[in-house]
Amino acid sequence: MAGVNVKSEIKPLKRVLLHRPGRELLNLTPNTLEELLFDDIPFLKVAQEEHDAFAQALRDNGVEVVYLEDLMTEVLDQNPDVREPFLKQFIEEAGIRTDRYQKIIFDYLNDNYPNNKDLVLKTMEGINLTELHTDKSNSLVDLVSEASKMVVAPMPNLYFTRDNFAMIGNGVSINRMYSVTRNRETIYGEYIFEYHPDFKDVPQYYSRYNTFHIEGGDILNLNEHVLAVGISQRTEPDAIDALAHNIFNDDTSPIDTILAFNIPNNRAMMHLDTVFTQIDTDKFTIHPGIMGPLTVFEITPEGDGIKVKETSGKLESILETYMGHPVELIPCGGGDRIAAEREQWNDGSNTLCIAPGVVCVYERNDVTNAVLEEKGIKLIVIPSAELSRGRGGPRCMSMPIWRED
């Protein structure tokens, strides 16, 4: 299955990208939570057990699981000349600006991590000043720095593989992330889609070097012809404009309509997939806060450019119009306000559909899960006590690479 093929949110999932939470979570501290976009510190051992259960549940249902860290390792193993430029770029993007520290960190990583898998995991984990064993008498910075200080910040959000690059039909958007702390995550996508034999020929619809932010949680493949993108806290309209131009200029792409949903700018609805996700041909889980009128912009090709038309209406009628059949919206928490707020906080409507009517859900959202079962949805329930502390559900933790047409 070389290349990518994702023209739906619900067609049978055959290949998916994950990242197993690693030692980067051990470098979260109460003082860095806000900067690193966490509300709490997950217990790594349990988070890994939960993530392994998620991966195994996918395998048990016929899905091939590939890991971000393994793809990047394969790039370095197969292209030895890439290791040095990757390391230098990683160090530069980590904010290391002085020649002295660039050399110290390069030598530390290159000498202590000859195995490429270990190196990749270390770049994700971050580097503590105490690891470097520098001569403090040579630098005022070293003398005044705390004894234990992260000189290279960790990337704890990496287990949310949905956001940093997104499959769109047979192409990919390599995203520019909203926050500085997450923008480094896309460096792995840059190398995978440049060098990995499975992915180097995939059309690229967006570049991590573009000016404007866009994240994968805001990108939903409604069907072969219609793409939905959220205008949100983390995705700017300018980025959607550029994405639309690139998709429409690709003669191989069947997408002829992009719907830009203007959603509230807040943490509870940070991405479009926290607002609604498709779970069957005619069913969606939704955030109850999105029941009112919505503003949606229809983007279509016109000549060498695009045409944008504003429309408004309820989510149900908008989806019915563009999908061509009636749909049913199932609110998180079953309509109970307290349950909805609690379970939305733990991503009750952020489900991963692996086939029509078959979805992965977090165990803890039992009110929403009971409603879904009543609606005839088959649930693959995964443990979530620690994974949920990162504020992302099964859809956030997965990037489909291949769905059957």
The CATH number given to whatever domain includes residue 107 is: 1.10.3930.10
Q: Which of 101, 133, 152 is the last residue of a domain?
A: 152
Asked about 353 being catalytic, the answer comes back as no
Same domain? 256 vs 341? yes
Considering the domain architecture, whether residues 44 and 96 belong to the same structural domain is answered as no
Tens of pLDDT, residues 318-349: 999 998 999 999 988 887 788 877 766 666 67
Condensed to tens digits (0 to 9), the pLDDT of residues 272-308 reads 887 889 999 999 988 877 666 788 999 999 988 899 9
User: For 109-139, how does the pLDDT look when each residue is reduced to its tens digit (9 = 90+)?
Assistant: 999 999 999 999 999 999 988 888 766 556 6
Per the domain annotation, does 1 fall within a domain? no
Catalytic residue of the set 332, 353, 360, 396: 396
| Domain range for 81 | 70-152
Tell me, yes or no, whether 277 and 204 share the same domain.
yes
In a domain, 244, yes or no: yes
Task: From 152, 184, 201, give the residue that closes a domain.
Answer: 152
- Residue 7: inside a domain, yes or no? no
CA dihedral 338, 163, 301, 353 (to 10 degrees): -60
Q: Residue 3: what pLDDT?
A: 93
Residues 230, 100, single domain; the answer is no
Q: State mean pLDDT over 364-374.
A: 90
**Which residues, at least 6 apart from 183, have a Cβ–Cβ distance to it below 8 Å?**
93, 176, 177, 208
pLDDT tens, position by position, 2-32: 899 999 999 999 999 999 999 998 887 878 7
- Of 179, 176, 131, the C-alpha closest to 152 is 131
Query: CATH number, domain at 341?
Result: 3.75.10.10
Is 251 a member of any domain? yes
Whether residue 170 lies inside any domain: the answer is: yes
**Same-domain pairing of 256 and 390:** yes
Domain presence at residue 266: yes
Is 256 part of a structural domain of the chain? yes
Are residues 282 and 215 part of one domain? yes
* Residue 5 included in any domain: no
Pairing mode of beta strands 358-362, 226-231: unpaired
Helix ranges (DSSP H) in 145-209: 180-183, 187-195
Annotate 370-379 with b (16+ C-beta within 10 A) or e (fewer). Answer: ebbeeeebeb
Is the pLDDT confidence value at 228 over 80?
A: yes
| 232 lies in the same domain as 302 | yes
Q: What is the mean pLDDT of residues 382-400?
A: 88
287 & 175 share domain: yes
Co-location of 250 and 309 in the same domain: yes
Domain total of the chain: 2
Task: Residue 308: name the closest of 361, 237, 205, 249 by CA.
Answer: 237
Give yes or no: residues 195 and 100 share one domain.
no
Q: Say whether both 165 and 92 belong to one domain.
A: no
| Domain final residue pick, 100, 134, 152 | 152
Instruction: Say if residue 254 is in the same domain as residue 367.
Output: yes
- In 94-165, which residue ranges form alpha helices assigned H by DSSP? 99-112, 116-125, 140-144
